[in-house]
Structure formats: structure tokens, C-alpha cells
Chains A and B, each alone.
Chain A
Amino acid sequence: MPIVEAEGLSKTYRVFQKREGLAGAVRGLFQREYREVRAVEGISFTIEPGEMVAFLGPNGAGKTTTLKMLSGLIFPSGGTTSVLGYTPSDRVDAFRRQFALVMGQKNQLWWDLPAQDSFELHREIYQLPRAEYQETIDELTGLLDVAHLTRQPVRELSLGERMKMELIAALLHRPRLLLLDEPTIGLDVVAQATIQKCLKEYHTRRGVTMLLTSHYMRDVEALCDRVLVINHGRLIYDGGLPGLSARFGQTKLITLEFAEGEAPSDLARFGDVERVEGGEAKIRVERAKVAEVLGAILDAYRLADVVVQDPPLEQVIARVFQEGKGGADHDAA
């Protein structure tokens, strides 16, 4: 049975329109104007137990709204969703005991107290047996290398250390489903990598299902083998990471290393020249023409090395987002 099932999930917000100026504000007291905002428009997907799925999309695409519907914070205005076999918006305790939501920009820990105290509180809130609780704490503080920091008031910790503590707090009750909204936002590369490593390791050990949103492609590449791309409230891609490049990256990047001295200056006839540096050149070529172009180049020059790559994921994603509404949603979703 899938862990998450969403069928035609939609959410329309009614946003209050503020009028300009004082006179407008007074009129607004008696007569309100609203604008409908369709944050999510009929998305469907299922997630099987143990999957690690990334939710990609630009700001305002509807990622967070979807996560909120899955965790029962807001009610869908259309469609149905079943998470862990429950309807999230019922907010029954049995459901809430089995998942966790980590928001990179919100903290759950008590600011003035050591993380240990917040953990103890979670133990009571989730009614965890002492032994199991201690085992989880030891495991996670070891994994994240923060065992020595749990007695220090949270306000004295660095952002990275605090995020690690947040993660521990979220995993204490051994959730079967972990929803992460921007878990590494604002962290340095080292802290990001530690969090990624921990999530991956934890996933291998416990087989927890994860759904995460992130702006860092590094997170996505390190963790997820499946991505859901959402734009303007619609699901425009559901599949593996390599497939994403194949589908949206219409070009390939060819790196050429010339065997004899400088790279020639007339490479522009083969494709868009990205960079020329000494004997090395990078050109961008349409996917369909790669074989043809390579043949022509090999005929004309002697090369020491050739590498054909997909463009970096960031570029592919940026392209997908620019395509805008209805750009590529014909057969996806």
C-alpha cells in the first residue's frame, strides 16, 4: 500500500486585496475584495514505502502548500489525499504520531533551554518508551556528531548545529514518513553535506519514506532518485533524475581537449561556445545533433579527450521553470 496517495489535489486560497491609502483602508472595513489564488491545481501522485522523493519548483509553485495538505495543516479545496492510510486533515493522534514535518525556517526547539530538554518533552508528547528513546538519541547524535552539544542552550548553537538538533527532534518518534521543507536553507556546504549524509544513512537503516523540497540541487542529487516537478500549481514531471535532463535539457555539453596547442577559433560553426581556455573548449549542442557534430569535429581536428554531458541540473531546472504554465504538461502528471 502506498504511503502517500494524492488524487486531483487542489488548493485555492482567497486572498484579501488591500486598497490603497487611508480612504481605501476605511472602505476595506465594510466591503472586502478578494482574489482567488490557485496554489495547487489538481495534482496526483503516489509514493511507495521507502522512497526518497524531491519536490522541485520555483517559489510560489505550490510545493509548501502541498506539504501542508499532506500533513493536515490545511484542507484541500478539491481532490483527495490519503497519507499513511489516514485523511490528514482529520488530525487524529494515531496519524500525527507517525510522521514528522521539518521546516528549515521554523524552529520547534525551546530557545533558552538545552536541546536535551526539548527532546525529553518530545518523549512525553509522543509517549516513547525510555529505552527506545535513548537508543534513538544515541544513534542520531552519533550520526550528526552533536552528542557533546545537547546540554547547551539552543540559542548558543550555530545555525547548522541547531538544524541538526531540529532534525533529531523530528526523528525521535521514528516517523514512517518524513516531510522536509527546505531542510538545508541557509546552511554552509559542510553542514549541508552532514545533513544529507544523516538523512541518507537514516533512510538506509530505517527505510523511512521521505519527501523533501529544496532549492539546492546538491540535496536532491545526493538523496533522491525520484523527483516531482511542480510549476504554477501543476505537476509537470514525475520520474527519475536522469530522465529530467533527457526531457527538459534539449542540449548537451561537449568538452573538447585538443591534442595540439590552442583550441581553434572557428568552433562557433558547431554550436554555442561556452568557454575556451587554452587547449580546452566547451560547446553546447542540441541533443539530436550531438553525433553529427562530434563526427564533424573529429574529422577536422585531433583531440586528446572528449566528454559529453548533460548540462548541470540547476540549468535544466531553471529552464523548466522558465517554460511557465502549460509549457510541458501534456503527457506528464
Chain B
Amino acid sequence: MLRKYAMIYRVSLAERMTYRADFLITTLFRFLPTLTTILLWNAIYAGAGSQTLAGFSYEQTICYLLIVNISRMFSSMPGLAGGIAREVRDGTLKKYLIQPLDLIGYLLSYRMAHKTAYIIGTALPYALLFGVCYRFFIGNVPTEPGIWAAYVASLLMAFLIGFFFEASVGMVGFWFLEITSILWVVMTLNFFISGQMLPLDFLPPFWAGLLKLLPFQYMAYFPAVIFLRKVQGAELLWGLALELFWVVFFVALCRWLYRSGLKRYGAYGG
């Protein structure tokens, strides 16, 4: 059974590798905004007249903003929701329904291949970027194996949350044929509430506390603060447990939406 999905992974990987150069170029250009962000924070810290803001030194903030890219490397799912909605709309979904195959398993294998190709394709530009910015990493790279293990675990779960969250959004396509606007709202909101723009600790305590209960922080903020050793001990374990809960939650939600979506599809269209 698993071999089927391993094969999908292999074939998808071969397909995605044809886009290596594309990954390389788009990643290089994605770093341009990072440069301006660094300059911006430089000005903010200079104006604040204080060494730290919300417990983050200037170097830590920049390091956070760099390392958040790694979280997003795992949790971002370009084209997943839109792709599902499109397959429903134009009927390509059929090919999964007539074969002894599970759509979600198929998409997951495909996405894993996509991510592998992406990570291989962007390793070089990221190494370059981090190399240029090496001074922000001094003293901020964890040395404890436990932290590294937690970091990797949080990234893997970030992938799963990102996947099943976006797939769930895509399943809405069974009810609304056009989901571009919903998707736009979700993605814009996510950019802020996942902590991609700035560490959640910079927000007023009430909002920071609320956002740290929501699943979105796991797609950017949480892995980054593990790396920076901002969460440790019991707090870290609690965070990982909550992350696992959200994984299970979105797996279940996605499955349920898919099942009810298929019922509707069978009744109304195709």
C-alpha cells in the first residue's frame, strides 16, 4: 500500500526536478525584501534607544526573520488549495476517483516530493544568504541536541499542519467553485498571525497569547523561537503537544471535508 505512494513520490520528484533552475532564481529574488527588512529593523532599534524589544535583541530579531524562512520552507503550500479547487471545477478530479487511489495520499506524496526538490533547489541560495548574514547567527545557533530534535520535530509537524490546513481550504472548492478570494484573505491574514512579519511577542500580551493558541503560529513563529531557544522546558513540550493536536485536528477536518465534498460532487456534478 505504502509502495504506491512511495512511487508517486519518486515520479513527482523527477517531475519537480525539471524546475530546479526556477526555484533557484525565484529564491534569489525573494531575498530582496529581506534586505530592506534588515535595514528597517536597524532603524527601529536605533530609534528605540533600548538594547532589546520584547526580549529580542536586534541580532535575534534579524535571525528570527531569516530563520522564519526555514519554517515557511516546510509549511508553505503554493498552489495546493487552488489546485484542488481547480481539479474539482474542471473535472480532472475524475482520474483519482476511477483509480484505486486516495486523493489526499496522492497529494501528500506529491507535496513531499515538491518540498524535497524545493529544498535541494534552494539550498545554495539559502547558504549564500545565511553566509552573508553570518553575524546575526553568532551566539544564536543552538548547540543542544534536544533543541535540534525539537526544532526538526516542529518543522515536520509544520509541514503537516500547512498541508492539511491548505488542503482543507481547497476542499471548500466542492461548495464554492471560485475560492481565489477566500484564499487571498486566508493567506494575507496568515502572513501576519503566523508570525512571518514579526515575532508574535512584539504584540500586546493578550493578542500574543491568543495567537499562540491558534494553529497558525506553527507555520512560522514556533519553529523559529525553538531555534532561538525562546521556548524551553515545559513550555516547549506544551507547545509541541499543542502542535500535534493541531496536526490531528486538520487531518480529521480535511478528511471530513473531502468525504462530504465527494458526496456533494456525486450528487450534483462532475
Q: Chain A: residues with CB nearer than 8 A to chain B?
A: 13-14, 68, 71-75, 77, 89, 91, 93, 96-97, 99-101, 103, 106, 108, 110, 112-113, 117-118, 120-121, 123-127
CB distance from A319 to the nearest CB of B (A): 31
A103 to B14, CA, bound (A): 26
- Interface flag for B95 (CB, 8 Å): yes
Complex Cα spacing A108 to B7, Å:
16
Which residues of chain B are near A120, meaning CB under 8 Å?
A: 7, 11
Is the CB–CB distance between A73 and B11 below 8 Å?
A: no
Is B232's CB within 8 Å of the partner chain A?
no
Contacts known (A112-B18, A113-B15, A121-B8); A73 close to B270, Cβ less than 8 A: yes
Kindly state the separation between the CA atoms of A127 and B269 in the bound complex, as whole angstroms. 30
User: How many whole Å from A312's CB to the nearest CB in chain B?
Assistant: 33
Give the residues in chain A near B30, CB-CB below 8 Å. none
Q: Does B95 lie within 8 Å of A126, measured CB to CB?
A: no
CA gap between A73 and B264 in the complex, in Å: 11
Number of A-B contacts (CB under 8 A): 66
Measured CA separation A103–B92 after assembly (Å) = 11
Interface residues, chain B, CB within 8 Å of chain A?
3-4, 6-8, 11, 14-15, 18, 91-92, 94-95, 97-101, 265-270
Which residue from A68, A93, A108 sits with its C-beta under 8 Å from B100? A93
Q: Are A125 and B95 in contact, with the CB atoms below 8 A?
A: no
Least CB separation from B95: chain A residue: A108
Selected contact of B91 from candidates A100, A106, A117, CB within 8 Å: A106
Query: What are 6 A-B interface contacts by the 8 Å CB criterion?
Result: A71-B98, A106-B95, A112-B18, A113-B15, A124-B3, A125-B99
Contact between A113 and B267, CB atoms less than 8 A apart: no
Q: Do A121 and B7 touch across chains, with their CB atoms under 8 A apart?
A: yes
Judged by DSSP, the binding face of B is helix
Residue contact B14 to A113, C-beta cutoff 8 Å = yes
Task: Select from chain A the residue with minimum beta-carbon distance to B17.
Answer: A112
Least distance between B153 CB and chain A CB atoms (Å): 30
Known contacts A13-B268, A117-B11, A124-B7: A72-B97 contact under CB 8 Å? yes
Q: Are A110 and B94 in contact (CB under 8 A)?
A: no
Report the bound CA distance from A74 to B262 in whole Å. Answer: 9
Q: Give min CB distance, B178 to chain A, whole Å.
A: 12
CB of A59 to closest CB in B, whole Å: 16
B162, chain A: closest CB distance, angstroms: 24
Residues of chain B within 8 A of A110, CB atoms compared? 11, 15
Residue from the set B8, B18, B97, B265 with the largest chain A CB neighbour count within 10 Å: B97
Query: A13-B269, A75-B267, A106-B94 known; A96 and B100 CB under 8 Å?
Result: yes
A189 to B92, CA, bound (A): 27
Instruction: Assess whether B11 is in contact with A121, with CB atoms less than 8 Å apart.
Output: yes
Question: Which residues from A are CB-within-8-Å of B11?
Answer: 110, 113, 117-118, 120-121
